[in-house]
Amino acid sequence: MANDGDDGQSQDYLFKIVLIGDSSVGKSNLLARFARNEFYPNSKSTIGVEFQTQKLVIDGKEIKAQIWDTAGQERFRAVTSAYYRGAVGALLVYDISRRQTFDSVGRWLNELHNHSDMNVVTILVGNKTDLKHAREVSTAEGQALAEAQGLFFMETSALDSSNVAAAFQTVVKEIYSILSRKVFQSLEQKKSELQSLSSGKAVVLQGEANQTSSGGRWCCSS
């Protein structure tokens, strides 16, 4: 976690969240839409790593999400470990109009597991839902993969803003929830495995509504 649990009640929260996925799936535009409500039709490739700190309010608490956006890793490998280090959340993005980016999800999960805590809260994001006629990956396929891997799942469009804020909020909310439970248990002088804290299934959200996730599992290897 970004902060020690024992100090959670008195400190501001800063969560590091990483955006991962193939080149040109729209990671930078997801970040631009979420942080600045902007969209760049002709985005340039990200050089290395870029940052954006965004404030959210979860359960009345102000939480800072430090969102790390990077080139699709192939182009800038020097920061691989550093990129993931300390991350507590991840958005794994693919492009629904390019199947190859969906087929790469497994490799990105391996990358994430190799370089970070296995307990990173991860959401699978199928971006570019505005390209309806060019869709190559169905919603059901995305949902099935997310369930198999124990991930949250959402389909988004950075172009028309569909579900963008919801995707980030889902991750941040889950991180905060886990942290709160950890703080509570620390106060209760109890220890439990984090994996057993969550319950329910991966949540699949679609359409325009900003539905709130009621819970779900995060990335695990079992």
Binding site for another protein (CB under 8 A): 42, 44-45, 47-53, 74-83, 85-86, 110, 113-115, 221
* Ramachandran angles phi, psi of 127, nearest 5°: -95, 165
What is the H or E stretch that residue 99 is in? helix 99-103
Burial (0-12, 13-18, 19+ Cβ within 10 Å), 148: exposed
Give min distance, CB of 221 to another protein, in A: 6
Q: Between 39 and 76, whose beta carbon lies closer to another protein? A: 76
Burial (0-12, 13-18, 19+ Cβ within 10 Å), 134: exposed
Indicate the DSSP class of residue 116: S
Q: Between 21 and 72, whose beta carbon lies closer to another protein? A: 72
Q: Between 37 and 212, whose beta carbon lies closer to another protein? A: 37
Give min distance, CB of 89 to another protein, in A: 15
Give min distance, CB of 129 to another protein, in A: 26
Give min distance, CB of 131 to another protein, in A: 21
